Structure 1
Amino acid sequence: MNRLIIAIATVAFWSQSFNVSAQTETTNHDVAISIPEVALVGIAGADGEGTTINLTPEISNLEAGEKVDFGTASNSTLWLNYTSVIKSLGNGNEKAGGKTRKIRAELNENLPNGLELYLEVAPISSGSGQTGAAEQEKVLLKKGPSTVVDNIGSCYTEKGEGKGHRLTYTLGTKKNQFDKVMAQSFSVQVVYTITEN
C-alpha cells in the first residue's frame, strides 16, 4: 500500500513539474493582388454579334400623293453590352473611384443624300455596378462620334440579347431634301467605341 501511495505521489509530482503552458507561434506571407483595367463593348441580337439589321419604309398602304413615312423604317432588335473596370486614382481611397468611361457611336461613312439615321439607347435593363446613363434624346448618327452612354464606372451589363441597353434605329429624311432621296440599296456600319471621359 505504501508503495502504491509513493507511486501516485511520484506521478503527481512529475505531472506538476512538466505542466508547461502551450506556446503559440505565428508566421505570415504577402498576397499580391492585381486587378486589370477592362473596357469591352459588344452588340448582341438574335443572331449574335455582328448582326445585320434591315431598315425599309413601309409602303404597302401608301396612296398616291402621300408622303413616304421613313419613320416606319425602324428596328429595336439589338442590345448594347459592356464590361468596365476603371483605374483607381491611386490615392488609397476606393470611394474616390477613377475616371469614368463613355460609349460613342458613329457611322463608318456618310449616308446617301437626303437620309438620316437616328439611334435611341434605352435605359439599362440588367447588370451590376456603375452602369452608364443613356442619352435621353434620339441621337443623329453621322461620320464622327456622338456620345450615347456616359458616366460608366466599374460594372457589367450582362451578355446577350435582352441585356444591357436596347438599341432602336430609325430612318429619316433631312428637312426639305426629299428631292435628294433615291431608290437604292446600300449599307453602312455603326461603330461603337468605349473610351475614358
Structure 2
Amino acid sequence: IIGGAKVSTKIDLLQNLVSKVDALVIGGGMANTFLHAQGVGIGKSLAEKNLAGTALRIIEKAGAANCAIILPVDAVVAYHFAANAPCHAYGLDAIPAEGMILDVGPQSIARIHAAIDDAATLVWNGPLGAFEMTPFDHGTMVAAKHAANRTKAKKLISVAGGGDTVAALNQAGVAGDFTYVSTAGGAFLEWMEGKPLPGVEVLRMRQAQ
C-alpha cells in the first residue's frame, strides 16, 4: 500500500515495487494523479497533472511485471478542506467538478481489504486519505485495523514505515499489532526503493571479510 500526497516523491519507490510485488494499492493524493492520467475527472482534487505520463508508464511497467495496480473505484468528496466538512461518496464517473477527493470510498475500502486478505506480506507507506481530519481518516483507519487483525491472526506479516504512516497507525491504535513499524522515514523509503543503505553496506562488507 503506497499513499500520501505526491507521486513526485515516490516515483523511484513505485517503479521498484511494481517489479517486486503481486499487487500495489495506490491511495491518497497520489492516486488522483493516476486517475487523472486515465482520464477520470477529479474536480478540484490535489494532483500532479504534469506527471500523468509518468503515472501511465508505471501502470504499463506493472502490467508487464504481472503486478496488479489497485486504484480507488470510488471516493469521498467534500467542497471544503476542513475537518467535518459535509461529504459524500461518489463513483469515479460522478466526481463533482467543484469537489475535492479527500478519502477512498466504501467500494475502494472493500477492494483494499480483499487485497490484504490475499497477501502473505504487506508493506505500507503513506495514508489513503486526509487522515489528519475526521471523517477523512476513515479509509486509512479501517484498512490499518484490518491489517492489524490479519497480523494478530498470524495470517499476515505487516511492515509499515514513514512519519505519516506511523502517525496513522498510532491514531488507529494498532501500531503495536503490526509485525514491524519503522520510524526511519527516509531510510525506510530508500530501502523500499531498492537503494543500498550505508549502515547495512558496512555490515555486509564486514561479513564478507
Do both proteins adopt the same fold according to a TM-score greater than 0.5, normalized to the shorter chain? Answer: no
Q: Point out the structure with max Rg over C-alpha.
A: 1
Q: Which has the higher helix share?
A: 2
Name the structure, 1 or 2, with higher relative contact order (CA <8 Å, separation 6+). Answer: 1
Q: Which has the higher strand share?
A: 1
Q: What TM-score do you get using the length of structure 1 for normalisation?
A: 0.21
